[in-house]
Structure 1
């Protein structure tokens, strides 16, 4: 990776992180009781979550100006890490051996590609 690509890589990673945050917002909204269908879709969490998804799509498109196409999926894989950390810390989901092994494989894949 060149020095000129670094801002685009950081933009891509920020986009992936914000996409994970939007998933948390949507899950939080889905866990709440709503009076009716309209209230469910006009919840601020839903609106902000989908707004973030749209924004992340635009950020990712912008990041691809400097990120090679073969690097994008590797950067996108960091989203699994963010979602897992959010799941454990925010939703108190349990980590088991299979999940830990899967995350280790993802990290190993990122590390191998980076080297």
Structure 2
């Protein structure tokens, strides 16, 4: 496989992993904690921030093979991933505003990729 293709896969993977970490951090924020220490030192927070650090490493390797002008379009897919993960894992229903932002994101990705 060509390095450029691997770079795109890494960039999309980094966005997906960052979205998953946002869901973990949101789950931790919505639960009751005994004290301030358990609020910041629980498995969801530690794993969430660990995943965010991992996305930094993935992006370092991904940006070696892709043009920087396409990265905003790849990063914009995070809106879609967060919505899908929140609906499937947290059971949240997307609001009209969320659906509108997804539609605008998809249209923007299509228009700017031409």
Same fold (TM over 0.5): yes
Quote the residue 1:23 is aligned against: 22
CA–CA distance in 2 between the matches of 1:96 and 1:37? 32
Stretches of structure 1 lacking an aligned partner (at least 5 in a row)? none
Deviation of 1:87 after TM superposition, in Å, equals 2.1
Could you tell which deviates more after superposition, 47-56 or 94-103? Answer: 94-103
Q: Secondary structure at the match of 1:90?
A: helix
Quote the residue 1:32 is aligned against: 31
Quote the residue 2:6 is aligned against: 7
CA–CA distance in 2 between the matches of 1:50 and 1:13? 18
Quote the residue 1:75 is aligned against: 74
Stretches of structure 2 lacking an aligned partner (at least 5 in a row)? none
Q: Please list every run of at least 4 consecutive aligned residues from structure 1 whose deviation after the TM superposition is greater than 4 angstroms.
A: none
Quote the residue 2:60 is aligned against: 61
Could you tell which deviates more after superposition, 97-106 or 58-67? Answer: 97-106
CA–CA distance in 2 between the matches of 1:42 and 1:98? 33
CA–CA distance in 1 between the matches of 2:108 and 2:6? 22
Deviation of 1:91 after TM superposition, in Å, equals 2.6
Could you tell which deviates more after superposition, 98-107 or 61-70? Answer: 98-107
* TM-score normalised by L of structure 1: 0.89
Q: Secondary structure at the match of 1:81?
A: helix
* TM-score normalised by L of structure 2: 0.90
CA-based RMSD of the aligned residues comes to 1.5
